[in-house]
Amino acid sequence: MSAAFHTLGPLSVGNVINAALRLYKDNYKIYLPIALQAGLWSLLPTVVELILTGVLFKNTESTSFVRLLVFPLQIFSTAKFLSLAAVIARLAFQQLIYRPETPVEAKAPVIKKMWQFLFVQAQISLLIFIAIIALGIVGAIVVSISTVIPLLAVILVPAFIVLMFLALTIVYARIIIPEVCLAVEDNLTAFKAIKRSWELTAGLSWRIVSIISIAFLVTIPLYILASVPFWLALVPLFGEGAALDNRDIESASAQGVIFGVLIFSVLNILALPFWQALKGVIYYDLRNRKEGLELTIEDGNL
């Protein structure tokens, strides 16, 4: 490994994406097992629910009861998933500052904060919910004005839809890295992690939106491919039409859904390291821009 280093300046949008891809390429043997653990934890409640529903409770009326039984496991599994995902972001950041850690070393401080990651996610969901409610109120006002003055509807309604999308995207951009802050920095609570993300992203929302948009375009073809088995499983329905009874339709639909879920799960596991590495790079770049952090990276890595 080369001993030559140089201090990185602020990264361009393209360099952020390239850095995340390079980190993934160079460390997939480390990242993917952690992503697999996270993915399995996220699937565990669904698997348990299916087993309980199919084996112990064979009538659909018990579904609500089964979900109630599985709910504590759902909470625990979500916390495990979020903390394991944060481990990948921490590993990426630590490598960027050339203080690499082993997965065991990275997990030790992160897993201790497992419930804090759950609280972060809960607060993010609450913030997005509040934003949606606020936009809904504005939307109701827009509709009322459009009803009174129909000619304005042609302008106001499309403009509101665009502005609503942009507003939600910007809110997401401001709270994109609290789990990285929590994973890397000491003495942060869930609330302080969100506040820290809000401070670091101030004035750079559009830049982060650009990064997210490009990253989305990189990964979306994989998810389009994942939907193919679902539609292939439904092809017989269109070909045979009325010749099939309800059971055949339900069976074909169930097969399509199962294949789709399995492939989406695999793709989520494969994509998780990229998104978490990307968050690690964004966090690195924001700290470098905002705090002039003297961070170093191995010469030639990017």
Reported as a single tens digit per residue, the pLDDT across 82-94 is: 999 999 999 999 9
Q: Does residue 2 form part of some domain? A: no
Q: Is 47 exposed, middle or buried (0-12, 13-18, 19+ CB in 10 A)?
A: exposed
Task: Identify whether 154 is part of a domain.
Answer: yes
Q: What is the mean pLDDT of residues 275-287?
A: 94
Burial class (CB in 10 A: 0-12, 13-18, 19+), 25: exposed
Residue 80 inside a domain? The answer is yes
Is 1 in a helix, a strand, or coil? coil
| Nearest Cα residue to 175 out of 125, 107, 225, 211 | 125
CA–CA dist 280, 31 (Å, integer): 13
Residue type at position 75:
I
Give a yes or no: residue 4 inside a domain. Answer: no
Least confident of 48-52, 158-162, 199-203, 207-211: 48-52
Contacts of 27 (CB under 8 A, 6+ apart): 91, 92, 95, 273, 277
As a whole number of angstroms, the distance between CA 78 and CA 66 comes to 18
Q: Tell me the three state secondary structure of residue 33.
A: helix
Residue 301 domain-assigned (yes or no): no
Range in 175-179, 211-215, 235-239 with the lowest mean pLDDT? 235-239
pLDDT of residue 300: 42
Is 302 part of a structural domain of the chain? no
Residue 257 lies in domain: 10-296
Q: How many domains does the chain have?
A: 1
**How far from 161 is each of 20, 154, 165, CA to CA, in Å?**
32, 12, 6
Smallest Cα–Cα separation from 79: which of 179, 198, 188?
179
pLDDT tens digits, one per residue of 57-79: 555 556 777 788 888 999 999 99
Those residues with Cβ within 8 angstroms of residue 106's Cβ, 6 or more apart along the chain or in another chain:
87, 90, 91, 94
Query: What pLDDT is stored for residue 68 in this prediction?
Result: 83
Q: What is the DSSP string of 235-273?
A: HHHHHHGGGS-HHHHHHHHHHHHHHHHHHHHHHHHHHHH
pLDDT band at residue 8 using 50, 70 and 90 as cut-offs: low
Task: State pTM to two decimals.
Answer: 0.83
In a 3-state reduction of DSSP, which class is residue 113?
Answer: coil
Residue 6 in this model has a pLDDT that exceeds 60? no
Gap between the Cα atoms of 206 and 66, Å rounded: 44
pLDDT band at 299 (very low <50, low <70, confident <90, very high): very low
In contact, 267 and 226? CB cutoff 8 Å: yes
